[in-house]
Structure 1
């Protein structure tokens, strides 16, 4: 799963489709954890917290669509952003936001 990390807000964001089981699980119980494997079997990080699930993007370029576009690093942005935003709507993509309360592991490159 691809994610983006906002260290100042301590939020991990994910893009997924509305029909995924994980969406139903998080809507029922927002507690979640993200495990990120490091360069070897002994290197990892875990982020725990409560997740919120957005509504699916409904109109190309709406707030959710812009949030999903914002998860992509500038160097990886699509050349045709309008077509990309239309595709997000067609796929019924939404944003999952994990507000991290606890962060631990052996591969943390953070302060505090």
Structure 2
């Protein structure tokens, strides 16, 4: 026999798990720049300056830091080609590409939200 108290504990437990799982994901994607970098790379491999030009306002130092963190979390790869000067290219991994199933609905929500707050 299940009591209301045990049902509440199960719901609280589920809520705690949900919060933890979402927090884990947000910790990896935390900040102003990681998602724009990921979106940029969803459209194909790019060199550092190409990413920098696509993302208005990001400094080279911040871009470098964010790329290292994304690489560390296996969301992107960094390939150095044996050229002079060295050519470095960044690409999204399959694991990183899986974010697309989250980004498309988030984008759609953003479009609808903007319409709502603009009174359209």
Sort the TM-score into its range (normalised by shorter chain). under 0.3
Larger Rg: 2
**TM-score, scaled to structure 1:** 0.24
**TM-score, scaled to structure 2:** 0.23
- Greater fraction strand: 1
